[in-house]
């Protein structure tokens, strides 16, 4: 093993033994991505409908913005610990924390997506006899789609970078490498785990940025 | 093993919101600031020969229980008329041991096994007496350990009273007769410790797998055990939660788990009179006493100074 922990981390990653088995990198990475996807999905089921409603009607906007701001300020490790004391160890507690972490970005993405539609365009749609549901689904959402995806992007990057905390309370994911490395002063392992999380976050960020560009309606400015 | 400093290290790092690396990473105190501050003290101390006039610098780990023990030493020394300079909550062993070696610190409460492993990572488990004499060999010049206390703060295989009586368990080896898959909640580094699953298999023929819960035997680990998510948990033996939750620490007749009796590591500045004052504290510090001291901190939320002065007067030491 190399003296320099960063080079040691590269040695660690290059070892073929790390790339197989139930605690190998592919399995841990899949777990990590699974937790992230589940957290963002559950959060989206809650936050996107609420955000669309707030954006479309303009009601409860202050409440939504305020709640999102408060949720952003919650320390996730504290939430994981709190939820784990309530529901026990396992995946439920970190998942609840990831959902809480993902909601603000998704909520903000959803209502700003709807709000971004030009009021004159929305009025024109209404004047043509579109129902409110049609206005939302055929005008506001398509026009704001890249902002909506932007919310998903923000939430995903935050959750993938935080999903290591699942390992704090008995679950898997790349956090296992980080905690085990930290606990046993195996810094190459810890850094290798961190590097893997960083790479995942960058890949997901780029992929969703691409999706954001693709979903921007023609004639609008791509992000 | 460095259990205590590691758990604070972990929280400090997470609290800082980033993953710092290297031995100097330490959330709660700035090691360089400590170095400057106490380095100056030691300079003035050595200018008058490092003699009795200078203050004795007492350090502690960033671990509440360790600070209480440091405060016991501090008040016992003050009762002898000595001047004490408190430098508590220094994070990692990698940070404070050089401070002791350089003379910037004079006394720090340590734990037998952890301290030995700091100097000899190959050290294997043994009786407290054997670890104590190995330590005397391993410590660098200028440092020595005083006697160790009965009080210990070590890893354990702990289970619930119900599970223990259902399977007639008193020692770790009895687990071999339990006909179900055994899991132990512990920090993930438990997996690679000599007293982890490999050790249990080798020494006692017991198969156990680790469920990582990273709060170092704290409330989450205790709850996982009490809830029945795991059958065993690694809880530090001085933790008041053991008695509060009616838990059973399984005996370790083969000394698989490294003993962690409290032992002060001191510099040359500690003369016989000062050493006697500290030894008097250690002679009284039983395992139950340490649990009770910790309980006054975690349950009653008293300050380490109040806990120390009350205990020292109870024992007639001041």
pLDDT reading at B20 higher than 50: no
Interface touch B220/A5, C-beta < 8 Å: no
Residue A220: which pLDDT band, with cuts at 50, 70 and 90? Answer: low
Interval B52-84: pLDDT, tens:
457 999 999 988 999 999 999 999 999 999 999
CA distance A173 to chain B (A): 12
ipTM > 0.90, yes or no? no
Interval A153-167: pLDDT, tens:
999 999 999 999 999
More confident residue, A217 or B41: A217
Under 8 Å CB-to-CB from A207, ≥6 apart: which residues?
none
Residue A219: which pLDDT band, with cuts at 50, 70 and 90? Answer: low
**pTM to 2 decimal places:** 0.78
Interval B165-174: pLDDT, tens:
999 999 999 9
CA distance B15 to chain A (A): 8
Q: Angle formed by the axes of helices B93-102 and B112-119, to 10°?
A: 80
Interface touch A77/B192, C-beta < 8 Å: no
Interface touch B214/A183, C-beta < 8 Å: yes
Rounded-to-integer distance, Cα B164 and Cα A70, Å: 45
Interval B208-244: pLDDT, tens:
999 999 988 899 999 999 999 999 999 999 999 999 9
Residue B26: which pLDDT band, with cuts at 50, 70 and 90? Answer: very low
Name the burial class of residue A158, with classes exposed (0-12), middle (13-18) and buried (19+) by CB atoms within 10 angstroms of its CB.
Answer: buried
Can you tell me which residue has the tokens 């033994």? A17
pLDDT reading at A103 higher than 70: yes
Residue-level pLDDT at B17: 40
Lowest-pLDDT choice from A65-74, B3-12, B29-38: B29-38
By the CB < 8 Å criterion, does B224 face chain A? yes
Residue A33: which pLDDT band, with cuts at 50, 70 and 90? Answer: very high
Question: What is the average pLDDT score of chain B?
Answer: 84
Residue B38: which pLDDT band, with cuts at 50, 70 and 90? Answer: very low
Residue B11: which pLDDT band, with cuts at 50, 70 and 90? Answer: very low
Nearest to A57 by CA among A135, A150, A130: A135
Domains by residue range for chain A, with CATH:
25-215 (1.10.3720.10)
Q: Which residues of B touch A178 (CB under 8 A)?
A: 19
Q: Angle at CA B5, nearest 5°, toward B2 and B7?
A: 100
Residue-level pLDDT at B50: 41
- Integer CA distances (angstroms), B288 to A139, B112, B242, B243, in order: 72, 18, 12, 10
Q: Biggest alpha carbon distance in chain B?
A: 67
Mean pLDDT of B82-93: 90
Can you tell me which residue has the tokens 């994070």? B91
Q: Chain A residue with minimal CA distance to B19?
A: A194
Residue B41: which pLDDT band, with cuts at 50, 70 and 90? Answer: very low
Interval A64-94: pLDDT, tens:
888 888 888 889 999 999 999 999 888 999 9
Residue-level pLDDT at B37: 39
pLDDT reading at B36 higher than 80: no
Mean pLDDT of A209-218: 88
% of chain B at pLDDT higher than 70:
83
Interval B120-158: pLDDT, tens:
877 777 889 999 999 999 999 999 999 999 999 999 999
CB contact at 8 A, B7 and B64: no
Residue-level pLDDT at A51: 94
CB contact at 8 A, B8 and B91: yes
Interface touch B212/A180, C-beta < 8 Å: yes
Rounded-to-integer distance, Cα A181 and Cα A196, Å: 14
CB contact at 8 A, B211 and A166: no
Rounded-to-integer distance, Cα A125 and Cα A141, Å: 13
């Amino acid at each position: 093993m190399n003296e320099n922990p960063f080079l040691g981390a590269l040695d660690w990653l290059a070892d073929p033994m790390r790339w197989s088995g139930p605690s190998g990198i592919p399995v841990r990475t899949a777990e990590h991505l699974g937790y992230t996807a589940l957290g963002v999905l559950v959060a989206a089921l809650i936050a996107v409908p609420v955000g669309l409603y707030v954006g479309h009607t303009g009601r409860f906007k202050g409440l939504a913005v305020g709640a999102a701001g408060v949720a952003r300020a919650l320390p996730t490790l504290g939430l994981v610990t709190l939820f784990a004391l309530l529901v026990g160890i396992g995946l439920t507690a970190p998942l609840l924390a990831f959902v809480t972490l993902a909601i603000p970005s998704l909520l903000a993405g959803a209502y700003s997506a709807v709000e971004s539609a030009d009021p004159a365009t929305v009025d024109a749609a209404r004047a043509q006899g579109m129902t409110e549901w049609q206005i939302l689904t055929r005008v506001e959402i398509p026009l704001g789609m890249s902002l909506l995806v932007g919310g998903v992007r923000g939430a995903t990057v935050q959750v993938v970078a935080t999903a290591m905390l699942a390992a704090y309370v008995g679950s898997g994911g790349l956090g296992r490498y980080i905690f085990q490395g930290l606990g046993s002063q195996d810094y190459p392992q810890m850094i290798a785990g961190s590097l893997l999380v960083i790479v995942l976050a960058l890949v997901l960020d780029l992929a969703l940025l691409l999706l954001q560009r693709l979903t921007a309606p023609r004639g609008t400015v791509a992000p | 093993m460095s259990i205590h400093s590691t758990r604070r290290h972990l929280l400090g790092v997470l609290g800082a919101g980033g993953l710092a690396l290297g031995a100097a990473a330490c959330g709660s105190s700035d090691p360089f600031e400590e170095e400057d501050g106490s380095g100056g003290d030691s300079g003035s101390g050595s200018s008058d020969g490092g003699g009795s006039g200078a203050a004795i610098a007492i350090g502690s780990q960033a671990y509440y229980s360790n600070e209480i023990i440091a405060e016991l030493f501090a008040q016992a020394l003050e009762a002898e008329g000595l001047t004490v300079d408190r430098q508590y909550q220094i994070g990692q062993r990698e940070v404070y041991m050089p401070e002791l070696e350089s003379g910037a610190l004079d006394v720090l409460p340590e734990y037998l096994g952890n301290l030995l492993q700091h100097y000899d990572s190959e050290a294997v488990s043994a009786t407290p007496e054997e670890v104590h004499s190995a330590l005397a060999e391993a410590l660098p010049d200028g440092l020595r350990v005083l006697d160790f206390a009965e009080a210990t703060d070590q890893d354990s295989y702990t289970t619930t009273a119900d599970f223990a009586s259902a399977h007639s368990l008193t020692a770790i080896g009895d687990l071999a007769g339990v006909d179900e898959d055994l899991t132990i909640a512990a920090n993930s580094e438990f997996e690679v410790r000599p007293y982890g699953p490999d050790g249990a298999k080798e020494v006692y023929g017991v198969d156990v797998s680790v469920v990582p819960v990273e709060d170092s035997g704290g409330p989450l680990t205790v709850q996982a055990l009490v809830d029945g998510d795991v059958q065993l948990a690694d809880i530090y033996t001085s933790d008041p939660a053991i008695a509060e939750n009616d838990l059973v620490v399984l005996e370790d007749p083969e000394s698989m788990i490294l003993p962690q009796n409290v032992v002060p590591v001191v510099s040359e500045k500690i003369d016989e009179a000062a050493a006697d004052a500290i030894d008097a504290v250690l002679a009284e510090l039983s395992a139950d006493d340490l649990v009770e001291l910790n309980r006054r901190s975690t349950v009653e939320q008293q300050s380490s100074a109040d806990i120390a002065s009350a205990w020292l007067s109870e024992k007639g030491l001041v």
